[in-house]
């Protein structure tokens, strides 16, 4: 299993409010995270950094998660606690009122991957069957698409595209989506903030992920392309390649 994590401020924003990383526990299992902070005066970076740091700390001391049920329970338990922590911190610090963060995280074992998400940071899977989005956006435009009020193409340029229906830390309780997928050698997982997914379409994401380049080169090319297409937002990604040989 090979991994890479990269983040970039983009071309327009003064600060990078994204956070994330790829972390190993003592049992060699991988936790990949991408979080996109929001709200307050530079409070978004506090929310996203808090979420990632707390998850990283818990992951270091975690037991071996041998099955999807244990992995799902780990995600639910710790994300719930972190949501409470961020919400409490925001209420205690006036400059952080209303802050929150999206989050997508994946616990990766040899034959399964358990994924949790809140907001519109995404997880994609590329394998022999093609390329697909694994997570569902918790956004206004996605609800409009699901209800048939607008098309998926309309959603790409909708003026209210950035409105989220869920975020970590903005309320005392938040609903988390958790799902498990089976993985095989040569499968590739991509986690990213909307700074990438809003700029680079599925066909191009697939094309770059299936290239023979190293993961570092692939990540660099994805971020470079998002910047070339405008770079209005922070751009963050984590790639997990389940191939036995490193790319």
CATH number of the domain residue 44 falls in = 3.60.40.10
Give me the domain span that covers residue 13: 2-135+167-241
Question: Tens digits of per-residue pLDDT, 165-218?
Answer: 999 999 999 999 999 999 999 999 999 999 999 999 999 999 999 987 899 999
Whether residue 151 is contained in a domain is answered as: no
pLDDT classification of 246: cutoffs 50, 70, 90: low
- Per 3-state DSSP, the chain is made up of helix, strand and coil in percentages (nearest 5) of 35, 30, 40
Whether residue 162 is contained in a domain is answered as: no
What residues have CB less than 8 Å from 132, skipping those under 6 apart? 124, 125
Whether residue 246 is contained in a domain is answered as: no
Q: Could you tell me the pTM of the whole model?
A: 0.95
pLDDT classification of 244: cutoffs 50, 70, 90: low
Rounded Cα distance, 59 and 56, in Å: 5
Domains of the chain: total: 1
Whether residue 148 is contained in a domain is answered as: no
pLDDT at 158: 83
Question: Tens digits of per-residue pLDDT, 137-155?
Answer: 999 998 998 899 988 877 8
Name which of 245, 2, 242 is nearest 110 in CA terms. 242
pLDDT at 101: 98
Are 214 and 247 a contacting pair, CB within 8 Å? yes
In this predicted structure, the answer to whether residue 68 has a pLDDT above a threshold of 80 is yes
């Amino acid at each position: 299993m090979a991994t890479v994590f990269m983040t970039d401020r983009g071309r327009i924003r003064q600060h990078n409010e994204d956070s994330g990383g790829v972390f190993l526990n003592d049992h060699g299992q991988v936790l990949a995270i991408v979080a996109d902070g929001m709200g307050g005066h530079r409070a978004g970076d506090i929310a996203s950094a808090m979420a990632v740091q707390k998850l990283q700390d818990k992951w270091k001391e975690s037991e071996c998660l041998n099955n999807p049920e244990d992995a799902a329970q780990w995600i639910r338990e710790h994300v719930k606690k972190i949501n409470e922590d961020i919400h409490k911190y925001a209420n205690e610090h006036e400059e952080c009122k209303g802050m929150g963060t999206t989050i997508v995280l994946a616990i990766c074992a040899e034959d399964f991957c358990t994924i949790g998400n809140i907001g519109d940071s995404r997880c994609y899977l590329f394998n022999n069957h093609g390329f697909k989005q694994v997570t569902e956006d918790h956004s206004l435009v996605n609800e409009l698409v699901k209800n048939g009020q607008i098309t998926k193409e309309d959603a790409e340029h909708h003026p209210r595209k950035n409105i989220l229906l869920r975020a970590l830390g903005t309320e005392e309780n938040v609903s988390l989506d958790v799902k498990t997928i089976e993985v095989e050698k040569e499968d590739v997982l991509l986690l990213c903030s909307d700074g990438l997914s809003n700029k680079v379409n599925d066909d191009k994401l697939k094309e770059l992920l299936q290239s023979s380049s190293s993961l570092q080169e692939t990540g660099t090319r994805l971020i470079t392309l998002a910047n070339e297409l405008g770079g209005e937002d922070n751009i963050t990604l984590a790639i997990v390649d389940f191939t036995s040989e490193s790319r």
